[in-house]
Structure 1
Amino acid sequence: MSEKFDAILSSANLPQSGGLLYLRLRNLIAQSIDEGFLAPGDGLPSERDIAQMTGLSRVTVRKALGQLVSEGVLFQRHGSGTFVTQQVERFEQSLSTLTSFSEDMARRDMELRSQWLDRGIYAPAPEEMVILGLAGDEKVARVGRLRIANGVPLAVERAAIAASILPDPQSITHSLYAKLNETGHRPVRALQRIAAVNLDQKNAALLGVAPGSASLRIERTAYLASGRVVEFTRSIYRGDAYDFVAELRDAKS
Structure 2
Amino acid sequence: MTLREFIKPCNFTKRGDGPKYLQLRNLIRKAILSGALEHHDALPAERDLAEFSGLSRVTVRNAIKALVREGTLVQRRGSGSFVSASPNDMQQSTTLLASFSTEMARRGLTARSTWIKRGHFHPSPDEIFALGLPQKSMVSRLMRVRYADDRSMAVERTALPVTILPEPNIVTNSLYATLEELGNAPVRAVQKISAINLRKADAELLNIPEGSAGLKIERVAYLANGMASEFTLSLYRGDAYEFVADLSPKELEHA
TM-score of the pair, normalised by structure 2: 0.63
Segments of structure 1 that go 5 or more residues without pairing to the other structure are 1-86
2:241 is matched with which residue?
Answer: 242
Q: Which amino acid counterpart does residue 196 of structure 2 have in structure 1?
A: V
Query: 1:171 aligned to 2:166?
Result: no
* Distance across 1 between alignment mates of 2:223 and 2:154: 25
The structure having more radius of gyration, on CA atoms, is 1
Give yes or no for contact 1:88–1:240 (8 Å, CA) kept in 2: no
Q: How many residues align?
A: 168
Query: 1:225 aligned to 2:224?
Result: yes
Q: Which amino acid counterpart does residue 234 of structure 2 have in structure 1?
A: S
1:160-197 deviations in whole A, cap 9, x for unaligned?
00012111001111111011111111111111000000
Segments of structure 2 that go 5 or more residues without pairing to the other structure are 1-85
Q: Which amino acid counterpart does residue 122 of structure 1 have in structure 2?
A: F
1:185 is matched with which residue?
Answer: 184
Q: Which amino acid counterpart does residue 229 of structure 2 have in structure 1?
A: V
TM-score of the pair, normalised by structure 1: 0.64
Residue 242 (structure 1) shift: 1.2
Q: Which amino acid counterpart does residue 161 of structure 1 have in structure 2?
A: L
2:135 is matched with which residue?
Answer: 136
Residue 88 (structure 1) shift: 8.1
* Distance across 2 between alignment mates of 1:231 and 1:195: 19
1:107-152 deviations in whole A, cap 9, x for unaligned?
1111221000110001112221222121233211101110011211
Give yes or no for contact 1:187–1:230 (8 Å, CA) kept in 2: yes
2:113 is matched with which residue?
Answer: 114
SS at match of 2:88: coil
* Distance across 1 between alignment mates of 2:136 and 2:242: 41
Identity of aligned residues (%): 49
Query: 1:208 aligned to 2:235?
Result: no
Q: Which amino acid counterpart does residue 171 of structure 1 have in structure 2?
A: I
When structure 1 is superposed on structure 2, of 191-200 and 130-139 the one drifting more is: 130-139
* Distance across 2 between alignment mates of 1:101 and 1:163: 22
Q: Which amino acid counterpart does residue 170 of structure 1 have in structure 2?
A: N
1:13-58 deviations in whole A, cap 9, x for unaligned?
xxxxxxxxxxxxxxxxxxxxxxxxxxxxxxxxxxxxxxxxxxxxxx
2:160 is matched with which residue?
Answer: 161
When structure 1 is superposed on structure 2, of 242-251 and 197-206 the one drifting more is: 242-251
SS at match of 2:218: strand
SS at match of 1:222: strand
Q: Which amino acid counterpart does residue 227 of structure 2 have in structure 1?
A: R
